[in-house]
Amino acid sequence: MSHIAETPAPPYYAVVFTSHRTDGDHGYAEMADKMVELAAQQPGFLGIESARDDVGITVSYWADLESIKLWKANAEHLKAQKLGHEKWYSTFKTRICKVERDYGM
């Protein structure tokens, strides 16, 4: 169950990961859950939102660019990224963004 992330006042950072999956699970769901759990333990992690229908969109929020860099280089995460490229995603795009303003209801 994904919720709207409760992030602090901007500025902070967002990583927008958009992907198309290959057919079949091939261990994807288990790894995805594990990576969300692991990301939440990283320094600078602020929250994560995720939805998938035709396309999958996962947005993770971070305090600064250094936190994003460290998470990208995390050993377990590197293994998951490798499997993602080899097996789970037919195509993806990652966008590193600075959140300048937010509002909501």
For a second copy, the binding residues (CB under 8 A) are: 1-5, 7, 10, 14, 16, 18-20, 49-57, 59, 85, 89, 91-105
**3-state secondary structure at position 25:** coil
Supply the minimum distance, in Å, between the C-beta of residue 51 and a second copy: 4
CB distance 16 to 95 below 8 Å = yes
Between residues 79 and 95, which has the closer beta carbon with respect to a second copy? 95
Token output for 52: 């998938």
Between residues 52 and 76, which has the closer beta carbon with respect to a second copy? 52
**3-state secondary structure at position 61:** strand
Between residues 42 and 92, which has the closer beta carbon with respect to a second copy? 92
Q: Exposed e or buried b for every residue in 62-84, given b needs 16+ CB within 10 A?
A: bbeeebbeebeebeebeebeeeb
Supply the minimum distance, in Å, between the C-beta of residue 27 and a second copy: 19
Supply the minimum distance, in Å, between the C-beta of residue 15 and a second copy: 10
